[in-house]
Structure 1
Amino acid sequence: MQAGHEIEALVIGGGPAGLMAADALLSAGHRVLLAEAKPSLGRKFLMAGKSGLNLTRAQPFGPFLAAYGSAEAALRPMLAEFTPETVQAWAEGLGQTTFTGSTGRVFPTAMKASPLLRSWLARLDAMGLERHTRWRWTGWDGEETRFETPDGTLALRPRVTVLALGGASWARLGSDGEWTGHFAGQGIEVSPFRPANAGLCVDWSEHMAPQFGAPLKGVAFRAGGLVSRGEAVISARGLEGGGLYPLSPALREGAALVIDLAPDVSEEALTARLAKPRGKQSLSNHLRRALKLSPAARALLMECARPLPEDPGTLARTVKALELPHQGLRPMDEAISTAGGVAFAALDEGLMLTQRPGCFVAGEMIDWEAPTGGYLLTACFATGLWAGRHAARYLSSRGRTP
């Protein structure tokens, strides 16, 4: 392919958002070239599926939408068009049956991402997708879109482009955020990237070492105005896990982490239990029997509240609101996802860049965030589909290439 070669539709990025955009364009009858910087497509998608691919969350649309926080209004039309129910139907249309777990998380029956990705790519290939790997986007030069490829520098002139280059977490899988420099050079508003769905750094004392790797279950986490019920794992570096991740926005801003070690028991009931005479029991045994806390929770209580207050009411309040000192979130490249990216103010309602007509963006490039549990993937699918459909409409409104 020669420099300056004209093509109909270009999709840059081979993750879920890019593939969905390509799917939408192909379905509309357009010729699509997909370029991916890495040696294969869907690398982060495959990594996410290693522990069970959580496709979406089965819950009423209102609570589902609320998980997107400040981006709720902007994402509403896209998520309304590609709902959790639509995600399940789409996966099953690719031959991958799904099931819903007890928490509402939806998984393919195979649990892995690879069968779904293979089936999806086979369908896209059958629709005529032209795909290239090891093509790294290096920005724009006027109307040309430039790449570094194994065969040297390449310039294309697409009639329409969808960029789905990801955020800035897990750079080894392709989301390195380097595209922000090209956007800045064009004066496009981009919010700085910040870690989301990340572990918390805690400087433990040596007494916590026996608990490293232990799960912290049956607790509630609170930071700022955010509350989450779920599990976390105590690690040598701090805390990590799905129960903690929804608090990332508040923890990122320096909010204190407060843990309710007994969320299903009232403070009054705890006080009454602790007020009972302990007889010859040691304080440790008295606490174990009265509070019914796991070893990990008891260790956390001792770590953060020694010496424990003698007054039953004061101790009950401590159990219900244990503040854990921390040093903030883990580095961005260790985060599952990122906040930040292209501001919605830089986009029209179809996710087209207002400063570059015919150029759309999708997925984690855009400034939104959501907790794990199916929300991330659903929004990547939904924004990719939305951008792809609007790119197709843009092409159709300007006539087809002869």
Structure 2
Amino acid sequence: MIAVIGAGPAGLMAAETLAKAGLAVTVFDQMPSVGRKFLMAGRGGLNLTHSENLATFQTRYGAAVSPQLIAAVQNFPPDRLREWAEGLGQTLFVGSSGRVFPKAMKASPLLRAWLQRLATLGVSFRLRQRWLGFADDGALLFEGAEPVRADGVVLALGGASWPKLGSDGGWVSALTAKEIHIAPLRPANAGLRIGWTELFREKFAGTPLKSVAIRWQDRVSRGDGIMSTYGMEGGLVYPLTSALHDTTATSGLAEVTIDLRPEFSEAQVADKLRQMRPSDSLSTGLKRALSLAPVAVSLLREASRDLPRDPAGLAHLIKHLPLTVTGTECLARAISSAGGITWDEIDPRFMLNRLPGVFVAGEMLDWDAPTGGYLLQASFATGFAAGQGMLDWRGQG
């Protein structure tokens, strides 16, 4: 029997890969049902992957990404994930941003079809099984249950974001006890904490800030953000989360700048501001000249109590609006986590060097990715890689 611990996308993909090769697979999970975080991800529209070309796609994992992660994505690329989902009866479409979604815009139909396929392949499930680690003889230990002996193990327990859905990072102590090096888990794709004034917070919490850019050092992200009571969240800020978490944890503060009109140069913004009527209020003039929404105008006032009235000075502020970040939203409320088992702890087959026959997939590994389909793509791809790696280890590859 092959044991897969963790019933998220990575674990289920590993289980499918192994079961298709004729192996008896049992999936263990501590929750009473499978794929809970996967289902949560689909509530706002399940973003499976992205349609951009693979060469561009793989750059989204950052310059320091492990070649093993890139190899896994290349071996199970977005096109293959799309074919796999369509094979489960899911009609997909590409949104205006290039992101790929099922027409149903949720995860539950895909998950139901997937579980039916796994049942046909003979995969069994043992739920409410909290994994505690390994016995001295290698048996799997579960809370309140007899040890389980397996012919191979895939660990896919996720990171530590949204622990109420099952990924609570409890596996860290079990693997640390085996002297496996684990980079500290930290929030990724989480909101930024910014000290809004009470007036701004009360008026604009929940309001979108659309089509802007945010810059920190040499990192730039474009898109839409959402004002929150604690700061700002959304796809605009998520690509900067990991770096800003590390910086604010060390120095306490970090200053980012917002470009409220990234499609225009600073000179073009100044030219448009010169067209403002003398009789216009600032809000009316900015709306007329640059189509700035009330939230954007209020952000200018948050950044500077005494706004420059000359076009050049105001244009500079619109293009370089400073905001002070005091931290990031906590790990438990992040969309995903970074950190995890370091890549030097696994071989090219995704097997732990210190634990022969034990493979790892998904967010347990030390990688990071922005939202937009990149997170799920890597989870599926590493699950497939771990399954293929085990088949190779068993001489069935």
Normalised by the shorter chain, which TM-score bucket? over 0.9
**Separation in 2, partners of 1:212, 1:13:** 36
Letter paired with 2:287: R
Moved more, 312-321 or 69-78: 69-78
Unaligned runs of 5+ in 1: 1-7
Give yes or no for the alignment of 1:80 onto 2:74.
yes
Query: RMSD between aligned alpha carbons?
Result: 1.5
In structure 1, the residue corresponding to 2:142 is in which secondary structure?
Answer: strand
Q: Distance in 1 between matches of 2:393 and 2:136?
A: 20
What SS class does the counterpart of residue 325 from structure 1 fall into?
Answer: strand
Does structure 2 conserve the Cα–Cα contact (< 8 Å) formed by 1:66 and 1:72?
Answer: no
2:196 counterpart residue number: 204
Answer whether contact 1:223 1:250 (CA < 8 A) is retained.
no
Is it true that 1:219 corresponds to 2:218 in the alignment?
Answer: no
Q: Kindly state the Cα deviation for residue 322 of structure 1 after the two structures are TM-superposed.
A: 0.7
Pair 1:115 & 2:105 matched: no
Aligned equivalents of 2:239, 2:293: Cα separation in 1: 23
Other-structure match for 1:99: 93
CA distance, structure 1, for counterparts of residue 306 and residue 285 of structure 2: 15
Q: Tell me the distance in 2 between the aligned counterparts of 1:218 and 1:183.
A: 43
1:193 matched to 2:181? The reply is no
The CA distance in 2 between the partners of 1:360 and 1:203, in whole Å, is 43
Give the CA deviation at 1:273. Answer: 2.7
Q: TM-score if structure 1 supplies the norm length? A: 0.93
Query: Matched residues in 2 for 1:284 and 1:14: separation?
Result: 52
Find out whether 1:240 has 2:233 as its counterpart.
yes
- Which of 17, 22, 25 does residue 24 from structure 1 map onto? 17
Query: Which runs of structure 2 are paired with 1:1-400 in the superposition (5 Å)?
Result: 8-69=1-62, 70-71=64-65, 73-148=67-142, 152-208=144-200, 209-254=202-247, 255-276=254-275, 278-396=277-395
**2:250 is matched with which residue?**
none
Residues 189, 342 of structure 1: 8 Å contact kept: yes
- CA deviation vs aligned residue, 1:229-285 (integer Å, no higher than 9, x gap): 111111112111112111213322334221100111111112223335642333333
CA distance in 2, matches of 1:287, 1:306: 16
Distance 1:98 1:256 in 2: 40
SS at match of 1:219: strand
**In the superposition, relative to structure 1, how do residues 376 and 33 fare at CA in structure 2: closer, same or farther (>3 Å)?**
same
User: For residues 96 and 285 of structure 1, what CA distance do their matches in structure 2 show?
Assistant: 47
**Residue type at the aligned position of 1:196:** A
Ranges in structure 2 where 5+ consecutive residues have no aligned partner? 248-253
Q: Given residue 271 of structure 2, which amino acid in structure 1 is its aligned partner?
A: A
Identity %: 48
Tell me how far 1:323 sits from its aligned partner: 1.1
Q: Which amino acid counterpart does residue 171 of structure 1 have in structure 2?
A: P
What is the SS of the residue equivalent to 2:146? strand
**Distance in 1 between the 2:216 and 2:244 partners?**
6
Deviates more, 1:53-62 or 1:307-316: 307-316
Q: Which amino acid aligns with 1:384?
A: G
Counterpart Cα distance in 1 of 2:334 and 2:166: 14
In structure 2, give the amino acid aligned to 1:365. Answer: M
Amino acid at match of 1:143: D
How much does 1:314 deviate? 1.9
Looking at structure 2, the residues matched to 397 and 215 of structure 1 have their Cα atoms a distance apart, in angstroms, of: 52
Q: CA deviation at 1:383?
A: 0.1
SS of match in other structure, 1:155: coil
Question: Which is further off, 312-321 or 378-387?
Answer: 312-321
Q: Tell me by how many angstroms 1:153 deviates.
A: 2.4
- CA–CA distance in structure 2, aligned partners of residues 34 and 389 of structure 1: 17
Is the 1:17–1:381 Cα contact (8 Å) retained in structure 2? Answer: yes
Which shifted more, 334-343 or 79-88?
A: 79-88
TM superposition score normalised by structure 2: 0.95
CA distance in 2, matches of 1:270, 1:140: 62
Amino acid in the other structure paired with 1:174: G
1:143 CA displacement:
2.9
CA contact (8 A) 1:224 1:250 kept: no
Letter in 2 for 1:67: R
Conservation of the 8 A alpha-carbon contact between 2:31 and 2:129: yes
Relative to 1, partners in 2 of residues 1:393 and 1:73: Cα closer, same or farther, differing over 3 Å?
closer
Cα distance in 1 for partners of 2:29, 2:205 equals: 39
Q: Given that residues 276 and 289 in structure 2 are in contact (C-alpha distance below 8 angstroms), is that contact kept between their aligned partners in structure 1?
A: no
What is the CA distance between 1:289 and its match in structure 2?
Answer: 2.4
Deviations 1:204-253 (A, max 9, x none): 11221211211100211112322111111111121111121112133223
How many Å apart are 1:117 and its aligned residue?
Answer: 0.6
Contact 2:135/2:141 (<8 A) preserved: no
Distance 1:51 1:284, change over 3 A: closer
